[in-house]
Structure 1
Amino acid sequence: MWSAFFASLVHAQTTAAALHQRATAAMCANCHGTDGRTVDGSAIPALVGMPKDYMLRQMQAFKDGSRPATVMHQIVKGLTDAQVQTIADYYAATKR
């Protein structure tokens, strides 16, 4: 009985963490497409499957102004380091 209770508790925590991660990453959808998949030929890069380290470097470059952008530098300045990490983790783990 206890093992079923703890198993359901672990599942609920895992599901909550996955939902939080997906909701945080969803803020990118307006420009980068649903689930990070942009339209073919778009000037905006797809995020899905992008390597985590690369994404973290690019987000930091937008944040510190070393990478020019139209709006990304403004968007990423409003994100915490934890949110940036969550977004990078989510898209790196999502299959193309």
Structure 2
Amino acid sequence: MKLLRWTPLALALLAGAGTASAQDKPDPNLARNLAATCAGCHGTGGRTVPGSAVEPLAGADSAVLMQKLRDFRSGARPATIMHQISKGYTEAQLELIAAYFAARK
């Protein structure tokens, strides 16, 4: 009877242990996955359609992209939607996105 009572606790501990080890390993696709949310406006891989009013991101300097993202987030740079989108990411996530697009040619 005691075994049945403790089994859910043991299972919860084991499940938590599996989750912790998964979090210790960085996701090699995280930057790409985060950057994919930009494709709707900035094109696949940050390459916009020629003639688009939206600026391309591929190959842009990472520091410049980060400054633009910070300016969107603070409201210093005018935007239609980017001020809302940029607030949805942590600083580290924005850095991953900027680095991802900077690496694209």
1:24 is aligned, of 34, 43, 51, to: 34
Task: Measure how far apart 1:85 and its partner are.
Answer: 0.3
> Structure 1 residue runs of 4+, over 2 Å off?
none
**When the two structures are superposed, what TM-score results if normalisation uses the length of structure 1?**
0.80
C-alpha separation in 2, matches of 1:45 and 1:37: 9
Count of aligned pairs between the two proteins = 81
The Cα offsets for residues 3-57 of structure 1, whole Å up to 9 and x where unpaired, read as xxxxxxxxxx79x41x221111111001101111100010000000010010000
Query: Could you tell me which residue of structure 1 aligns to residue 81 of structure 2?
Result: 71
1:45 aligns with 2:58: no
- Gaps of at least 5 residues in structure 1 are 1-12
Query: Could you tell me which residue of structure 1 aligns to residue 44 of structure 2?
Result: 34
Please identify the structure whose Cα radius of gyration is greater.
Answer: 2
Task: Measure how far apart 1:94 and its partner are.
Answer: 1.1
Task: Measure how far apart 1:68 and its partner are.
Answer: 0.5
- Identity of aligned pairs, percent? 48
Query: Could you tell me which residue of structure 1 aligns to residue 66 of structure 2?
Result: 56
The Cα offsets for residues 46-86 of structure 1, whole Å up to 9 and x where unpaired, read as 00001001000000000000000000001101111111000
C-alpha separation in 2, matches of 1:69 and 1:84: 17
Secondary structure at the counterpart of residue 55 of structure 2: coil
- Gaps of at least 5 residues in structure 2 are 1-24
